[in-house]
Structure 1
Amino acid sequence: MTEPSVPPPPNILFILIDDMGWKDLGTYGSEFYETPNLDRLATEGMTFTDGYASCPVCSPTRASCLTGRYPARVGVTQFIGGHNVG
């Protein structure tokens, strides 16, 4: 009897960039920024094009991306924790 073959785990590279526009990579049509290595990764792999931010500011959105939960559920609801504006 042979052992069943186990498929290798997926090889995932998650790149999170703050304040990047949708057309800031060459692979998406940028004529200003040169991003040959990221373009090659996108060409040879998979791209994620239909994402939505869970909050209008960066810190809570990053917390949501990294945990898979709403920002309020992990206690990150402000731009910089503990510093309210106004």
Structure 2
Amino acid sequence: MAILETMASGIPNLSTNVGDIRDAIIHGENGILTAPGDVHEMTKQLTKLLNDPLLLEKYAVCAREKIIRDFSIENYHTNWSAFYSSSRTW
């Protein structure tokens, strides 16, 4: 949830590639994913982000766009309505 909140705020993310995180963060598009436990790669990617303000801005804009497109309340409502409608048997 925290990752979605930061993305909605336009904050790019650097995270490990575990669980459902990859549903939100698309590596190289709206953030960076590294292998779990790879401290060297995490440090390398963090340094890259800190030294490239244009890349940070790109990830920030793309992160916010993904939240609006895929995780908005309207999208949530539409998906649940469709699921509910397809589940009814009466």
TM > 0.5 between the two?
no
Q: Higher relative CO (CA 8 A, sep ≥ 6), structure 1 or 2?
A: 2
Structure with the higher fraction of residues in strand conformation: 2
- When normalised by structure 1's length, the TM-score is 0.23
**Normalising to structure 2: TM-score of the pair?**
0.22
